């Protein structure tokens, strides 16, 4: 199975962004150095990856949020490596330019450094990703160092780390006390020292996220972490209003696709029931001669 991202030959798919250069971890570093903001969104399938990529996004995260917003699990803990790789491959087929990051699912990197390296490698070899992301700070430093040591770029993830939802006592903001803030800053520096090329800061106070972004030389990508980060990421299904179960406070909704979908499905059912669909233009015909011959032979 090919995980190489092909160059599109379909001109109808091409936009102003379609011919832009491939974004790399080097681009991330250069953008931070130049004070340019980094944009990132999640995607889990081919058409969304294509649309996000063509819009000109810097990076696509195949997040383990897949479990909640696509697969309908209660949280991200049930997501498996096989599920992540399946969706990573679809995204890799759709995206041409964005830096693709595969989110390492729960228990794919915590048991041992060896397993972490092996599973990180699968994201590149079998998932078509360019880099991996994993959650945690100092307790993951050895795994980060080892994965980076094999040549695989690693993005860290600090603050609200959903795979620790039970330990955190729910999906709650982090780093709100002086001691927690100090620990977060230290963890960010430890991840940088371990070789991470970037990190996500989720649901932490804006002034803490801004300070961390300034203190580390790698880009910090915020989600619910204010405007002072080096970049921003959102879960695409939240941004599109596709995921109806709940919307975190930090999300800005740019559409209400769940309602749009319900409306479209309702109209479809209505059209069928009232015989408006399928109409002549949706119907295949055959010549009268063929039809008559068929009737004679039937």
Q: Does 236 bind ligand KIV (CB under 6 A)?
A: no
Q: Of the ranges 7-15, 60-68, 113-121, 184-192, which one interacts with ligand KIV (CB under 6 A)? A: 60-68
58 belongs to the binding site for ligand KIV (CB under 6 A)? no
Rank residues 227 and 269 by Cβ distance to ligand KIV and give the closer one. 227
- State in angstroms the smallest separation of the CB of 18 from ligand KIV: 25
- For the chain, what is the largest distance between any 2 Cα atoms, rounded to a whole number of angstroms? 88
Q: Is 292 exposed, middle or buried (0-12, 13-18, 19+ CB in 10 A)?
A: exposed
CB contact set of 168 (below 8 Å; sequence gap of 6+): 160, 161, 174
Nearest Cα neighbor of 42 from 221, 291, 177 is 221
Residues 167-206 that bind ligand KIV (CB under 6 A): 200, 202
Torsional class of 159: left (φ above 0), alpha (ψ -120 to 50), beta (otherwise): left
Q: Is 233 in the site for ligand KIV (CB under 6 A)?
A: yes
Candidates 25, 39, 42, 203: give the one binding ligand KIV (CB under 6 A): 42
Q: Which residues pair with 201 in a beta bridge?
A: 158, 222
- Compute the residue count for the chain: 298
Contact 175, 5 (CB under 8 A): no
Total binding residues toward ligand KIV, as defined by CB under 6 A: 12
260 catalytic residue (yes or no): no
Which of 23, 31, 60, 64 lies at the binding interface for ligand KIV (CB under 6 A)?
A: 64
The β-bridge partners of 23 are none
Q: Choose, by CB under 6 A, the member of 100, 116, 120, 223 that binds ligand KIV.
A: 223
Q: Is residue 103 near ligand KIV by the rule CB under 6 A?
A: yes
User: Which of these is catalytic: 202, 267, 281, 293?
Assistant: 202
Residues catalogued as catalytic:
202
Residues binding ligand KIV (CB under 6 A): 42, 61, 63-65, 103, 157, 200, 202, 223, 233, 235
């Amino acid at each position: 199975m090919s995980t190489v991202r092909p160059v599109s030959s379909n001109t109808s798919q091409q936009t102003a962004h379609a011919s832009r250069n491939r974004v790399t971890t080097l681009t991330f570093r250069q953008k931070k150095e130049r004070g340019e903001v980094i944009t990132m969104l999640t995607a889990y399938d081919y058409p969304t990856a294509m649309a996000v990529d063509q819009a000109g996004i810097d990076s696509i995260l195949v997040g383990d949020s897949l479990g909640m917003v696509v697969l309908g699990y209660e949280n991200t803990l049930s997501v498996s490596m096989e599920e992540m790789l399946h969706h990573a491959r679809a995204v890799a087929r759709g995206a041409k330019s964005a830096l693709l990051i595969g989110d390492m699912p729960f228990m794919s990197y915590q048991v041992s450094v060896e397993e972490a390296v092996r599973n990180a490698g699968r994201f590149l070899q079998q998932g078509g990703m360019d880099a991996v992301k994993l959650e945690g700070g100092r307790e993951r430093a050895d795994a980060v160092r080892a994965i980076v040591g094999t040549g695989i770029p690693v993005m860290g993830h600090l603050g609200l780390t959903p795979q620790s939802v039970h330990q955190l006592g729910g999906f709650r903001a982090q780093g709100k006390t002086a001691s927690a803030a100090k620990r977060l800053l230290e963890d960010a520096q430890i991840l940088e020292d371990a070789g991470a090329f970037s990190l996500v800061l989720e649901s932490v106070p804006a002034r803490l996220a801004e300070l961390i972004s300034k203190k580390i030389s790698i880009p910090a990508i915020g989600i619910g972490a204010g405007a002072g980060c080096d970049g921003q990421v959102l879960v695409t299904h939240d941004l599109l209003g596709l995921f109806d179960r709940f919307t975190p406070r930090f999300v800005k909704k740019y559409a209400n696709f769940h309602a749009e979908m319900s409306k479209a499905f309702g109209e479809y059912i209505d059209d069928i029931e009232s015989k408006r669909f399928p109409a002549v233009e949706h119907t295949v015909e055959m010549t009268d001669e063929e039809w008559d011959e068929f009737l004679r032979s039937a």
